[in-house]
Amino acid sequence: MNKAVSRRPESPQPQTMVQSVIADVLRHIHERQLKVGDTVPSEGEFGQQLGVSRTVMREAFKALAAMNIIEVHAGRKARVKAFDSTLMALTLSHGLHTEQLTVQQLWDVRRSMEMRTVVLACMHRSEAVAAALLELTERMRATHNDVAAMTEHDIAFHEEIAKATRNPLFPVLVSSLTQAMRETNPIVWRSRTRSEEQLKVVDWHRDIAEAIRDQDPGRAMEAMSLHFDEALRGLVLSGFN
């Protein structure tokens, strides 16, 4: 009996010239241990070193700029750019709009992450951060009948907590996950027609801010958990699944 012929693993697709140059530029940055704000050689200089045309270098630089690896400005050398939430937020928004993930799945991840950030914020927060969080809850209260303005204060509140962790990855992750609030909040807000319901949302945030001010992680986690319980209930009532 003949044995079945085993399939050879597929070879990776060959890199295009532009992809190869992108890898070379990244290698240059990493091997030379360049930091945010440091300059990289110009398109012309790289082109000479790598033996490729200006057209190829231009496309590679455009791609690196789109990936937020470098900043490109006319008449100036490109610089290493700080990583941020832009690309991840775009990817998550695309995932939501193409139904590859749901709002509830997004919020489930947010909840897991923010239950940690609130503990770290209690441990590491400064007096300025404690004051800023309380101020943001007052701004939310003042704009509770303006969903767009309140949403911006709400996002800023969660991002401020993430910054207080002193872990630079948390602000990037939390920011990317909270961007969807700009789309979901106006819909969820329709289920909160009475002023007291809207102000209750502010109270949840106030409880979180006060727990962080008092550096009480247990209370902060309890308040954050309640906030997400009620927020998810609002999502369900608004038809999100």
Q: Is the pTM of this model over 0.95?
A: no
CB 140 within 8 Å of CB 157: yes
CATH class of 17-80: mainly alpha
- Measured from the Cβ of residue 104, the count of other Cβ atoms closer than 10 Å reads 12
CB 234 within 8 Å of CB 186: no
Q: What pLDDT digit, counting tens, does each position of 132-176 carry?
A: 999 999 999 999 889 899 999 999 999 999 999 999 999 999 999
Q: What pLDDT digit, counting tens, does each position of 32-63 carry?
A: 999 999 999 999 999 999 999 999 999 999 99
Question: Was domain 86-237 assigned CATH 1.20.120.530?
Answer: yes
CB 179 within 8 Å of CB 106: no
Q: Which helix (H) or strand (E) holds 31?
A: helix 17-31
The set of residues, in sequence order, having a beta carbon less than 8 Å from that of 222 and lying 6+ positions away, is: 211
For the chain, the structural domain boundaries read 17-80, 86-237
Closest CA to 227 of 102, 111, 105: 111
